[in-house]
Structure 1
């Protein structure tokens, strides 16, 4: 709720107006002072030139030596004074007696002011208060054969100079006012743009919004990466995103994301699973728009590693249950057959039928329990045999499947590794004519070696690499995470995984053994 406070744009506008008004006011005052200074300088040059011109005129020297200097000089100096806009031109004797003056009553009286420097032969200017008031005047000597025989003083009063400056003030004020209006308009335009960008919020509201925004970004348990509309570093990367995606400190670009996320479609993405070396991630991508314009892309990342592990265990249990159901159904059929054969009076054939089926199952169970020291792996393989049989696929356990334990893998990791490889093999073989799968698990030299072969066409190196990045699959009805999870597990144990295409399609995993400390 707004409480009558000025927005950031409003405060900026007022501050700009105050600063601009002060600067333009100072500029106006400086312009007036500069105009006055320029007029003073120009006046000093003008009065100096007029005084020298009058002093150097031959008629001035002739008039000074005549019997009546005033009669000759007064008309001439008054004409020159009028033409040159001087306030006075005074020709005087060396003893200060005036020959001419603007006010005829002053003629014959002593000249006020400094004349010593002029008597010494120097031309100078000064500001002095005389009979006409404060003025800028120049005093220069009149020479005759190197001797000073008279002095000439020309001057302009301060009142005239002030009126000249005053005539320039309206223009200065007009220019200053125009500048202030233009500055105010530009400040208004800037404040409107700033208001749109800040949504009219006050500074404390912006600060609170930033603090809340920053706190939320760093406290949410989902990874968040926000890219702007143009290529470049991400504008927002929270702590959880750096942890989940293993991102370095500093600016982040799309090139720093995991390989599969770099090639994501630019549009909206919903619940897409990506597998990194350490994690299974659920990624969503949204395009953010404001007022109809795209302003960025938001990536949200959730960690589903533990959930996928639990789902893997549940999937294994489900498959075990399905296998038991299939066995129960098959056993019921066989029991019904045996009972019927007895009822038909063929007990010997019934015993032979039941014993043969039991012997085949028991042989496989006995061999696995004797050669495979891990109960979970033995149970998984037995379950997969029945599961494959339901789909018409022959799954065999190779004779070299011998191992005391599945170290360095845990029972859960073993089920994930072997179970996913066998499931993919059964899916591939189910659509072939031979319909066969062969599994081999053993310790070879210093590695745990798992080999699953099938009669399917296999995968090219490119497809196999793509399957390693995330949940890629060539099957339309499958999540496609099996091989990605296998690659993640193998990578975590510093192992290697290879594949060979048809006619001998197989996936081989080798994981180095770790010595116990």
Structure 2
């Protein structure tokens, strides 16, 4: 169904021209008007110039004749015509004027191109010349309309003794003008042809760029494009082959902490983004589901190359926020670990129960009671220690789960004596960030000591005057000082797998709370995190 503005008054659909065609027609009209107007002005100018040149010419010829001594002598001779007629015809032929008439002060002709008209009165005005002035006029004479000049001739006593008039017919001027106009028309036609050709080339290029769309379609496409870019929550970046940002929607600005309008046109390397993300965006290669960390978010990045008509247009980058999903995954992993620890304890309890039953069947009830009591005390000791020292249930669950998981791997996780904190001390800290920090630090420590003799991980969580302190120490090989600078980068791993994300998430959570993290070596690696009290979480 065509739009309403595509119908005329009779309800019929009017043909809709594309933007390229409309501009082509408009440009052709403009070029034609300019060329025709220029031609008309040039013709008018040529006409004025020819007339002015004719006036100058006839004045010059008449003045020259009037100044000739032979002319003045002949005018006072008994028969002026005998001397002046041959002279006038010779000068007329040499100068190209159409007539030369030499006459008496009363206007009686002594010369004329038609000898039959000699002796007749001159047709034209002579009053100004008789008064001593040189003047020109256009007057219909015996040869038709002509541009003529009339010049007085004086003797040595400055007495008027005759008049000289010469002229060029308008017909002669018109013939000369026609020659010039013919050339002018050819130039105008060539200009119109070249202008039309250039206009067509511009129109064809515009048609390729607009894909033959009509103005209304282009307007709607822009409105939809702009609305979609502002509406979608996912981030969208367009990066040119030269590595400059050509488009950044609101979602990308929010996820990257940038002003969309300020980043467009700037190189990716100049944006304040993590080096790993800048490397992926500036590489110009396709990226699929890469995880990158900024100071505040976990982003899933995809990048695809854009090509059109064999031309490389750069890459389109989509960004999705996985911060919440990553936090929930961390909590889920903690709960899964806790469930695994319960399963392990249930399995161990079943084994212990079978042992107790077997001792009772063997009639050794006292030993069965002693064994059951000792195992119960060992199982309950850590739980009582954690629950008694840590009042925050989520944090306690993480510690119990990680302890049980590490115990299955032969690693002992213990709480230090100074561990003591309640949920009031942790009121300003997001429990998910606590799970991320403590869970990943314990996992990292367990990985570091799992193959060491008598592996042990010590955990401290306590409230201080500066905030909440979390310390995880292990008796592993420690951390190289040079490596310590890269621990919290995405991709670092204790196993050099290049896929480490846990410590990077720890660093992100610490930065979010404007805290600090320190790595030292004291018979192993010691990670100390301080989250300031009352800090506003940077979301």
**Separation of aligned partners in 2, 1:95 and 1:51:** 18
The CA deviation at 1:410 is 4.4
Q: 1:133 to 1:460 in 2, by over 3 A?
A: farther
Task: Mark the runs of 5 or more structure 1 residues left unpaired by the alignment.
Answer: none
User: Which of residues 470, 478, 484 in structure 2 aligns to 1:450?
Assistant: 470
1:462, distance to aligned residue in structure 2 (A): 6.4
The answer to whether structure 1 residue 78 and structure 2 residue 89 are counterparts is yes
* Root mean square deviation of aligned Cα: 2.5
Is residue 276–residue 470 contact of structure 1 (8 Å, CA) maintained in 2? no
* CA–CA distance in structure 2, aligned partners of residues 108 and 503 of structure 1: 141
Q: Do residues 172 (structure 1) and 190 (structure 2) align?
A: no
Asked if the contact 2:327–2:433 (Cα under 8 Å) also holds between the matched residues in 1, the reply is no
Query: Aligned partners of 1:478 and 1:65: how far apart in 2?
Result: 123
Determine if the alignment matches structure 1 residue 222 to structure 2 residue 234: yes
Q: Which moved more, 1:109-118 or 1:145-154?
A: 109-118
In the alignment, what sits opposite 1:500?
520
- The answer to whether the Cα contact below 8 Å between 1:421 and 1:483 also exists between their aligned partners in 2 is yes
Q: Verify: 1:426 aligned to 2:437, yes or no.
A: no
Distance 2:357 2:333 in 1: 35
- How far off is 1:28 after superposition? 1.3
Does the residue aligned with 1:251 lie in a helix, a strand or coil? helix
Match of 1:42 among 28, 36, 53: 53
Choose from 247, 267, 270 the match for 1:236: 247
Quick one: distance in 2 between partners of 1:7 and 1:163?
47
**Counterpart Cα distance in 1 of 2:237 and 2:481:** 32
Match of 1:27 among 38, 48, 53: 38
Task: Supply the distance in 1 between the matched residues of 2:370 and 2:261 (Cα, whole angstroms).
Answer: 75
| CA shift for structure 1 position 460 | 5.3
Give the match for residue 316 of structure 2.
Answer: 298
Q: Per-residue displacement from partner, 1:308-329 (whole Å, max 9, x unpaired)? A: 2222221111111111111122
Q: 1:32 to 1:478 in 2, by over 3 A?
A: closer
For 1:316-355, list aligned pairs within 5 A.
316-344=334-362, 346-355=364-373
CA distance in 1, matches of 2:387, 2:233: 45
Q: Which moved more, 1:133-142 or 1:483-492?
A: 483-492
Cα distance 1:432–1:390, how it changes in 2: closer, same or farther (>3 A)?
same
Quote the residue 2:408 is aligned against: 390
Is 1:56 matched up with 2:73? Answer: no
- The TM-score with structure 2 as length reference comes to 0.89
Of 132, 142, 167, 1:155 maps to 167
What's the TM-score, normalizing by structure 1?
0.92
Q: How many residues align?
A: 515
1:256 is aligned to 271
Counterpart selection for 2:110 from 87, 99, 118: 99
Alignment of 1:477-488 (within 5 A): 480-488=500-508
Cα separation, 1, equivalents of 2:38 and 2:480:
79
When residues 351 and 496 of structure 1 are mapped into structure 2, their CA distance, relative to the original with a 3 A threshold, is same
**Distance verdict in 2 for CA 1:296–1:163, change over 3 Å:** same
Asked if 1:373 corresponds to 2:391, the answer is yes
Partner SS state of residue 121, structure 2: coil
Deviations 1:444-463 (A, max 9, x none): 23321110012334555665
